[in-house]
C-alpha cells in the first residue's frame, strides 16, 4: 500500500516526461486544464484571471462517438478529441488535472482509535485491512482527517481515497501518450469542494457549510463541505436513469420523449404546459422523496458530529437539476436554500457560440470546473486528497 504515491513515479517515470517530476513555481501562474472522461463525453475546462478572479477561458464537452473503452485503449483517439477541443476553444498548454472515474476509486469514511505512540497513517492502514479483508498490497491511498481533535484515546475519523495502483498507472500513461502533462490526479470530492470554496469566497474567512448534490447518470453523490473542509462524500441510489425509467414505465413513453420532458421542458402535443408539469410531478415525486430521505440521513449524521449544526445551503448539480421541481421540493422539505449550479454561468463563461445555454449542467461539468480550479488561485482548500501530484508536493 502506498500513501500519496510518494514512490509511484519510480515505476511510471519512463512513461512521463522527466521534468514533470520536479517542475516548480515558474509554472505556477499558468492554469491547468480540468479534464474529465465521463461515460460518454470528454469534458475540458480551463480558467484564467479576470480582475483578479477566476473565469472560464475555454470549455468543451465532446461526445466520444464510440464506446469509452475504445478511447481508453487507444491514446490516439483521445489525442484526436483533444485536438478537436483546441480547434473550437482557446485552450492553452498541455498541463491537465484529472481524476479517476467513480467506479475506479473508493471514497470511505474510516473511524479508528490510536494506540499509544501510533500514527494516523498506521491506524488507517490497519482499519482498511480489516475492512477490505487484507487486500491492500496493490492499493494507492490518501486520507484527510475529519475529526482529529481530542486525545489519542478518542475516536478519530478520516475520509480515505483508495485506488488500485495499476489503475492509476494505466490512466496516467493514457494521458501522457495522448500528449498531455499531468499536474495532478485529483479526487472528485476534493475537486467539488474546491469549486464550492470558490463560489462561497467573499473575501472573508466566513465560509458557509454546504451540501452539494451531484446527480449523475447512474448514481448520485452527497458531498458535505464544512467551512473549508471536505467532511463527507457518499453515493446514494438516485440518478438520471432512475427518473427516466420511472417516466418510461409509468407513462409508457419513449426514452427520447422522457429526456425531452425532463431535461428540455418540452410539452406533449395536445396538453397544456401546466398539465405536463403536474403529470411529471405526480410520477416523479416518489423518487424525489427517496433522495430527501438520503439527504436527511446525511444531515442527521452531520449534526451528530457538529453538535447539532446543519448546512447553510444546498447546491444541486447535474442535468436533472433542469427539472426545477427537484430544487423546489428539496427546499420545501429541508427548509434550506437550494441553488442550481451551472459552473460555466457562475464563472462568467462567454457562451454565445453554444446552442444549449444549459450545457454547463451536463454530468461532469461541475467536477471538471473543480479540477480546473486546482491551480487557479491560492485559496486554501483543506481537503488534502490527491492520488498523484506531478510536482511531488504533499
Least confident residue range of 3-7, 162-166, 357-361, 367-371: 3-7
The DSSP output letter for 309 is: -
CB 111 within 8 A of CB 120: no
Q: How confident is the model at residue 389 (pLDDT cuts 50, 70, 90)?
A: low
In this structure, which CATH number among 3.30.390.50, 3.30.420.40, 3.40.50.170, 3.40.718.10 belongs to the domain 2-236+339-389?
A: 3.30.420.40
Least confident residue range of 111-115, 331-335, 350-354: 350-354
> Residue 179: is its pLDDT beyond 90?
yes
Rg (CA), the chain: 21
316: which strand partners?
A: 213, 340
Mean pLDDT value of segment 324-341: 93
Residue ranges per structural domain of the chain: 2-236+339-389
Residue with cell 444531515: 299
Q: Express each pLDDT in 361-379 by its tens digit.
A: 888 899 999 999 988 654 4
Q: How confident is the model at residue 175 (pLDDT cuts 50, 70, 90)?
A: very high
Residue with cell 436513469: 241
- Between CA 332 and CA 346 the distance in angstroms is 24
> Residue 6: is its pLDDT beyond 60?
no
What is the predicted pLDDT for the residue at 213? 96
Q: Does this model's pTM top 0.85?
A: no
Amino acid at each position: 500500500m502506498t500513501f500519496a504515491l510518494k514512490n509511484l513515479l519510480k515505476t511510471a517515470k519512463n512513461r512521463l516526461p522527466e521534468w514533470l517530476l520536479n517542475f516548480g513555481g515558474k509554472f505556477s501562474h499558468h492554469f491547468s486544464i480540468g479534464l474529465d472522461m465521463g461515460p460518454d463525453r470528454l469534458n475540458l475546462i480551463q480558467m484564467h484571471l479576470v480582475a483578479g478572479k477566476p473565469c472560464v477561458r475555454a470549455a468543451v464537452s465532446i461526445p466520444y462517438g464510440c464506446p469509452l473503452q475504445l478511447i481508453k485503449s487507444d491514446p490516439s483517439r483521445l489525442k484526436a478529441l483533444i485536438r478537436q477541443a483546441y480547434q473550437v476553444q482557446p485552450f492553452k498548454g498541455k498541463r491537465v488535472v484529472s481524476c479517476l472515474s467513480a467506479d475506479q476509486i473508493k471514497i470511505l469514511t474510516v473511524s479508528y482509535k490510536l494506540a499509544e505512540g501510533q500514527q494516523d497513517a498506521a491506524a488507517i492502514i490497519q482499519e482498511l485491512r480489516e475492512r477490505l479483508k487484507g487486500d491492500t498490497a496493490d492499493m494507492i491511498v490518501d486520507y484527510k482527517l475529519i475529526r482529529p481533535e481530542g486525545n489519542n484515546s478518542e475516536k478519530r475519523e478520516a475520509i480515505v481515497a483508495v485506488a488500485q495502483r495499476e489503475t492509476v498507472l494505466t490512466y496516467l500513461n493514457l494521458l501522457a501518450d495522448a500528449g498531455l502533462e499531468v499536474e495532478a490526479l485529483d479526487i472528485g470530492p476534493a475537486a467539488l469542494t474546491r469549486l464550492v470554496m470558490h463560489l462561497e469566497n467573499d473575501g472573508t474567512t466566513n465560509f458557509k457549510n454546504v451540501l452539494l448534490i451531484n446527480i449523475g447518470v447512474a448514481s448520485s453523490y452527497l458531498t458535505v463541505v464544512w467551512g473549508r473542509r471536505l467532511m463527507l462524500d457518499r453515493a446514494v441510489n438516485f440518478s438520471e436513469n432512475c427518473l427516466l425509467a420511472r417516466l418510461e414505465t409509468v407513462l409508457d413513453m419513449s426514452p427520447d420523449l422522457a429526456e425531452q420532458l425532463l431535461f428540455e421542458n418540452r410539452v406533449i402535443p395536445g396538453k397544456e404546459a401546466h398539465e405536463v408539469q403536474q403529470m411529471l410531478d405526480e410520477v416523479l415525486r416518489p423518487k424525489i422523496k427517496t433522495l430527501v430521505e438520503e439527504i436527511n440521513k446525511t444531515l442527521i449524521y452531520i449534526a451528530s458530529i457538529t453538535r447539532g449544526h446543519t448546512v447553510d445551503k444546498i447546491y444541486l448539480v447535474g442535468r436533472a437539476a433542469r427539472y426545477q421541481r427537484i430544487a423546489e421540493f428539496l427546499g420545501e422539505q429541508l427548509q434550506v436554500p437550494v441553488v442550481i449550479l451551472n459552473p460555466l454561468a457562475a464563472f462568467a463563461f462567454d457562451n454565445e457560440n453554444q446552442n444549449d445555454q444549459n450545457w454547463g449542467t451536463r454530468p461532469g461539468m461541475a467536477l471538471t470546473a473543480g479540477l480546473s480550479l486546482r491551480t487557479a488561485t491560492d485559496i486554501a482548500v483543506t481537503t488534502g486528497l490527491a492520488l498523484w501530484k506531478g510536482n511531488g508536493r504533499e
